[in-house]
Amino acid sequence: MATINENYLKLPGSYLFAEIARKVNYFKEQNPSANIIRLGIGDVTLPLPPAVIASLHDAVDEMANADTFHGYGPEQGYTFLIQKIIDTDYKPRNIQLDVDEVFVSDGSKSDTGNFQEIFGVDNTIAITDPVYPVYLDTNVMAGRTGELVNGKFGKVLYLTCNQDNNFVPELPKEKADIIYICMPNNPTGTTLTRTQLKTWVEYAKKNGSILLYDAAYEAYIQQDDIPHSIYEIEGAKDVAIEFRSFSKNAGFTGTRCAFTVVPKSVKAKTASGELYPLNSLWNRRQTTKFNGVPYIIQKGAEAVYSANGQKQIKDLVSYYMTNAKVIREGLTSIGLSVYGGVNAPYIWLKVPQGLDSWAFFDKLLEEAHIVGTPGSGFGPAGEGYFRLTAFGSQESTVEAIERIKTRLKL
C-alpha cells in the first residue's frame, strides 16, 4: 500500500478562516438583518485597471487568429514582459538585472512556497513571528522543521516582532541558513529602513545565508527611506531572492501573475562544499514543474507598465491607502495602539487589555458587526493583536470606523 508524507500530519489544521466563517455564519443566523462589513479580507475589491482590460481583450483576439495564436510559451515568461519589469521596476533604482534572472509565475504564494524545494532538508530556517503562514507550512511539508511543541516547531528560529521591538526582527541568535523576510509586512503592515535591511544583508553574507525577500506589497510604500527592493542594498544580489506580485498593485488576485528575481550571483553549497547558483536550479524546477503563465495574462501584466497602466495602478494603490489612513486614524482616535497602515494596506492593532485575539474578534462582530482577523492565526507572537485590511470600498471603510467609534465598548 502507498504511504504518505507524514510531514503533512505535523501541520495544525487550517482552522483560522474556517473558524471565522463559522462564527460569522452563526452570527448572521442569529442576526439576519445585520449589515456585516468585512475588513479581514486580504483580497482586493477594485476591478482590473482599464489598460489591463484593453490588453487582455486584444490578446484574446490574437488567440482567435492562426497567425497570432500562442501555444506553449517559455516557462520563464515572455521577454516582452520581463524586459518591462526590468526597465520599469529595477533600472530606475540603479539595479541591473539580466532577462534570465527574472521568472514570471502565477503568484508569489506559489513561488515563496515552492522555492524551498531547491534547498536541502537539513537547512535551518528563520521566520518572523507573526508570519505569512505559507513560509512555515511549506517547510513543515518538506520535513525541515521538526515537531510542533507548545505552538512552535522545534527546528525553526522564530524572530519575534511586537511593539517592544517596534516590529523590527532581531538577528537570529543561532545560525540561520534560510531567512524569510516580508516587507512591507503581512500581517503587521510594518517596514524596515535601508539601514535595518543592510544589517540583514551583512548577516547573510557573513553566515552564508539566503534571504527570501517577499516584496509583494512594495507598491504601497509611501516613505522615501523605505526600499522598494532588497537589491537597493549593496551586496544583496549575492544573498537574496526577491518575490513580487501584480496581485495587490494591479488587482491580479484572480488573474494570477507575479515574478521572482533570482540573481545568478546567489549561490548555495552542495554536500561536497561546491558553490552552486540557485538561478539554474530554479530554472530547472520551473521548466520541470511549471508550464508558464498564459500569454493572455502576461499581455495584461505588460499593460501595467504602459503610461496609462502606471497611472491607473497608482490610483488603485492610493484608493486603498486612503482607506488605510481612515482606519489607522480612526482607531488611534479612540485610544487603541495601532501599527502599519502607512506603507502597507494592513493595520495591526493591539487588542484592548483583558481580551485575547479571538475575544476581540467576537466583540467587534457582536457590537459593531465588523469582521477582522485574529492575530493569533499568524503565529504565537500574533496573540493579543488583530489585523484589519484596507481592501474594502471607501464607503464601507468609513462606515466601519464610525461603527467602531460609536458602538464598540472599550
Return the amino acid letter for 205.
K
Which residue carries 528563520 as its cell? 126
Of the candidate ranges 11-20, 51-60, 174-183, 253-262, the one whose mean pLDDT is the lowest: 11-20
Percent over 90 (pLDDT), the chain = 96
Residue 244 and residue 327 share a domain: no
- The tally of domains found in the chain comes to 2
Distances 65 to 81, 182, 239, 301, 407 between C-alpha atoms, Å: 21, 42, 45, 21, 59
CA pair distance 54, 60, nearest whole angstrom: 10
Among 255, 280, 307, residue at a domain's last position = 307
Whether 372 is in a domain gets the answer yes
The pLDDT of residue 12: 82
Q: What tens digit of pLDDT does each residue of 14-48 get?
A: 668 888 999 999 999 999 999 999 998 789 999 99
Q: What tens digit of pLDDT does each residue of 153-203 get?
A: 999 999 999 999 999 999 999 999 999 999 999 999 999 999 999 999 999
CATH of residue 380's domain is 3.90.1150.10
Distances 30 to 18, 23, 26, 33, 372 between C-alpha atoms, Å: 19, 11, 6, 9, 19
Among 307, 322, 346, residue at a domain's last position = 307
The pLDDT of residue 60: 98
Whether 1 is in a domain gets the answer no
Q: What φ, ψ does residue 211 adopt, rounded to 5°?
A: -95, 125
Side-chain-facing half-sphere of 388: CA atoms under 13 Å:
35
The verdict on pTM exceeding 0.75 is yes
Closest CA to 197 of 159, 231, 244, 224: 231
Q: Which residues pair with 389 in a beta bridge?
A: 346
CATH of residue 203's domain is 3.40.640.10
Does the bond joining 184 to the residue before it have cis omega, within 30 degrees of 0? yes
